Structure 1
Amino acid sequence: MNEDRRERQHAPGPEGADGGPALTLRVHQNKYLPASAGRTEMHAIVSVRARGLGPAAALTAASEVIVIDCSMSMSWPPTKIAAARRATASAVGILRDGTRFAIVEGTEQAQVVYPFTGGMAVAGPDTKAAAARVAARLPAVGGTAIGSWLDLARRLHLRQPAAIQHTLLLTDGRNEHDPPGYLDKVLDACAPHFTCDARGIGDGWDATELKRIARRLHGRADAVLEDAALAAEFEEMVSASMAKALAGVRIRIRTRAGSRVGFVKQVHPTRVDVTDEGVRPDERTWEWTTKAWGDETREYQVSVLADPRGDPAGEDVELATVELAVEGDTALPPPEPESLLVQWTDDVLLSSRIDPRLAHYDADSELGHAITAGCDAYEAGDRERARRQWGRAVQLAHQLGSEKMLTRLSGLVHIVDAATGEVRIREPIRPLDLNSAIIVSEESVHFMGVERPRAAAPPAADVICPACGRRSPATAEFCQQCDTPLGAEAGDTPLGAEPGGAT
């Protein structure tokens, strides 16, 4: 039944065939599990794709708050505040007419500098020109209180409800002037209302802090590598916001009796564990609303508990169903639900196959862990461990075809042989280069390979996580439940052959 449904969903048809709007849903998995395993986990990748939303985006109500760090540190070098002024004017210039918008000056407090009334302006030729003139006079005085800035953005968005609500954040420093714990409270308050993309400029900002903000507010964070490139980055972020047409898409997973959703993690375009953000209306159901969709694909790794007791061997059994619902006022129909299947087998070759998407995103997750572990080791003074971790990261980035990651890693190491992970640490490493690698460590490379499951090596004994007790395959180097390093040398990622080169 499920295969027939998939054929109908993905065969050519009127929905989306002419370039019109469409939402599609796919489940990718190896459905075979060993019958002797007892209660175990079934893993799958859920792929959601929206396309043809451009015409609808042009008619969708939107609001944009541009938050600029105007602290004293932005004055040196003077290229930072100059770039921020130009970028703010550029971002305002490409707002769609009719969009509600505001510019917020962030210091140890937050204030709206445009519009002068303190609320939200309506984008049009006159208001955009006036906002550009204000942007040209943004100062560089005061401190840094990012929580206060974002809280003002929240209040502005709430004044003018719109289907798409987005905040653009630029900072060059750390959150120093908010009370302890205040930023986390603000992020919790903001998360239901708007998405936020963030950029760090200069070398004094905290990559971990900026990642936390973007992760909680369902956006993306990155480093500004050259001050002169900031205007283009602002234009890209605002253009992406203007291309959004759906306020949200709700994902619902309902398991059969006796099963339960273990976790749900977004694996593309960024890696985010969303398990705790979802709600469980009952023991068998998990659902979560994804925010602000344009033409894009997002993918999620789902773990569902499976138990062979009472199931027939050699037959497909529906373990769970996945369905979508579109939020807001839209005529876009949801796709038909998809099934997550299990078939219990004694055939080791069948049950040991790894779905290629799962294998891809497992490797991608390992890449992110290796980058951050290397940065942690470097900052702790352990240069040799940093070299090994970054060497492994280079090797994985090469295998995954991630030119962006290789470019960022090349600021940390001299790459001797990307295929084997042979590297030498650069000395000295600029703080910007460390931040620029850390900030993208949760970005992922989209799977573009074949859909055929590949055979795994003969299965070895599973590994038990020492922190949470979760069982993982022998090949796992990090626990998928709590991210604890696994393997013989906790915290290190084995390379096989040790890369050469001295620090």
Structure 2
Amino acid sequence: MATFTSTVYQNEFLPDGGTDVNAIVRLGVSGAGRAGASGKAPGEIIIVDTSGSMGQVNMAAAKNAAMTAVDTIADGTFFAVVAGTHEAYLAYPMVRTGRGMVEMNPRTRAEAKQAISWFNAEGGTAIGAWLNLARALFGSMGDALGNKHALLLTDGEDRDESQADLDMAIRASMGVFQCDCRGVGTDWIVSEIRKVSSALLGTVDIIPDPSRMAAEFASIMQASASRGVTDAELRVWVPQGAQVLFVRQVSPTVDDLTARGVPVNPLTSGYPTGSWSDEERDYHVGVRLPAKALGQEQLAARVQLVVDGQPVTQGLVKATWSNDAALTTRISPEVAHYTGQTELAAAIQEGLAAKASGDEAGATTKLGRAIQLAVASGNEEATSKLKKVVDVVDAGTGTVRLKRAVDKADEMALDTASTKTTRIKG
């Protein structure tokens, strides 16, 4: 049986007239079990870009990786394989009506791998169409499935449909399934694929070397299979007259959930978190309260993790008004740390965007700030990836020079890793 925990990090003391409360709420799950622990079988869809740009090398690697993913999916899981070009094709199972997914067993595993072996690189790229088919396949299963997860591989820009079509497909898929996205090579657009993965509560990363694709696919499928707590929701209650300023996941990655809040009742909003394995996640919650008299105390927010409609753990965010400067000027180390990590992600993305547009001064400023934040917070992954894009003159002051020759894959790896955060040291 899963066990849930919560811990709140904050400085609850506000000065006279103070209104804004910030807190980091750490939520944890242990004993989550395997996907399917809810009693409903999990569902997996493998979406492989088979457009002409994949070429022989990437296509061969993708076929091998897709077969590896099929081998990794546990018996009893319902699954399907989609081939994506300027259209979306159901490669397996080969059905036209009824359920679009079949249960994994030795026979269906062998049939799926045979279908994958027939993939050819041809046609264009329309990722929204691929998502629409995946959504329809999950929908064809009715209420039979618990965890619904897709793995999407692409190698190029979404050129064969409008951005409006892609955005519409993303919105329609939100809340239906989670999707981990991977890009092979350097001809795809990180921000475009991040838009998919973020909305669908997944991850995004680059596979610069096709030979690493199979191991990456296996890892993604293993991670999906470990999520035994299905479709949990973060709920934030605030008192009458208060305002939720923002709700952000800040560990293990930065993901702003503010706009995704759905009213549960007049004082409570729910935010999607997807499925959980044995893990901890940190959330930064900002609340604005009406100022109260010195000495008064108030519950500023109640942050709950809700599973199957029932709260399983909660953290209480508090506010106390004081005229003691020693109390009100304290800064929560956790709040300060994750505020910096959020700024780091933005600085990397904005710096790379400035560099791509030819704004070298803006890129130098933003990436200099990024190296300053990365080194100060001990984010070794970000520091290492930044050093492949800039020469560091003085990390303490954020003084850098743009490298003249940068491998595009290194820039994309920095971009995809920009939202990954590190825990506070100590």
User: TM-score range, shorter-chain basis?
Assistant: over 0.9
* Distance (whole Å) between structure 2 residues aligned to residue 338 and residue 176 of structure 1: 45
Specify which structure has the bigger relative contact order, considering alpha-carbon pairs within 8 angstroms and separated by 6 or more residues. Answer: 2
Of stretches 246-255 and 314-323 in structure 1, the one that deviates more from structure 2 is: 314-323
Is the 8 Å Cα contact of residues 306 and 313 (structure 2) preserved in structure 1? no
Alignment counterpart, residue 295 of structure 2, candidates 308, 314, 319? 314
The question of 1:70 aligning with 2:47 is answered: no
Alignment counterpart, residue 249 of structure 1, candidates 232, 244, 261? 232
Deviations 1:306-365 (A, max 9, x none): 2233x4x3354222322332127xxxx744543211111112221121111111111111
- Structure 1 residues 435 and 162 mapped into 2: Cα distance closer, same or farther (>3 Å)? same
Shift of 1:212: 0.5
Deviations 1:57-81 (A, max 9, x none): 5665111111111111100xx3211
Alignment counterpart, residue 85 of structure 2, candidates 82, 100, 107? 107
The question of 1:237 aligning with 2:225 is answered: no
* Distance (whole Å) between structure 1 residues aligned to residue 406 and residue 35 of structure 2: 46
Shift of 1:281: 4.1
- Structure 1 residues 386 and 262 mapped into 2: Cα distance closer, same or farther (>3 Å)? closer
Match of 1:265 in 2: 248
For 2:354, the aligned partner's letter is: A
Overall identity of the aligned pairs, in %: 36
Match of 1:470 in 2: none
The question of 1:215 aligning with 2:221 is answered: no
Deviations 1:414-467 (A, max 9, x none): 34565554543222223322222222222222x2434xxxxxxxxxxxxxxxxx
Match of 1:41 in 2: 20
Alignment counterpart, residue 27 of structure 1, candidates 1, 4, 8? 8
Shift of 1:143: 0.2
Alignment counterpart, residue 406 of structure 2, candidates 429, 434, 448? 429
* Distance (whole Å) between structure 2 residues aligned to residue 56 and residue 435 of structure 1: 32
Is the 8 Å Cα contact of residues 103 and 113 (structure 1) preserved in structure 2? yes
Structure richer in strand, relative to its length: 2
For 1:88, the aligned partner's letter is: A
Match of 1:340 in 2: 317
The DSSP-based 3-state class of the residue aligned with 2:62 is helix
The DSSP-based 3-state class of the residue aligned with 2:281 is strand
TM-score, length-scaled by structure 2: 0.92
The DSSP-based 3-state class of the residue aligned with 1:427 is coil
Is the 8 Å Cα contact of residues 267 and 444 (structure 1) preserved in structure 2? yes
The DSSP-based 3-state class of the residue aligned with 1:36 is coil
Alignment counterpart, residue 119 of structure 2, candidates 119, 138, 146? 138
* Distance (whole Å) between structure 1 residues aligned to residue 192 and residue 31 of structure 2: 35
The DSSP-based 3-state class of the residue aligned with 1:85 is helix
Q: Larger Rg: 1 or 2?
A: 1
Alignment counterpart, residue 425 of structure 2, candidates 435, 445, 449? 449
Of stretches 140-149 and 434-443 in structure 1, the one that deviates more from structure 2 is: 434-443
Match of 1:189 in 2: 172
Aligned length: 420
* Distance (whole Å) between structure 1 residues aligned to residue 3 and residue 287 of structure 2: 28
Match of 1:163 in 2: 146
- Structure 1 residues 235 and 417 mapped into 2: Cα distance closer, same or farther (>3 Å)? farther
The question of 1:404 aligning with 2:384 is answered: no
Moved over 6 A (4+): none
Q: Give me the CA root mean square deviation.
A: 2.1
* Distance (whole Å) between structure 2 residues aligned to residue 56 and residue 196 of structure 1: 15
Shift of 1:244: 0.9
Of stretches 415-424 and 154-163 in structure 1, the one that deviates more from structure 2 is: 415-424
Deviations 1:89-147 (A, max 9, x none): 11111101111111111001000111223621211222222222332332100000000
Q: Where do 1:460-479 residues align within 5 Å?
A: none
Gaps of 5+ in 1: 1-19, 451-503
For 1:142, the aligned partner's letter is: G
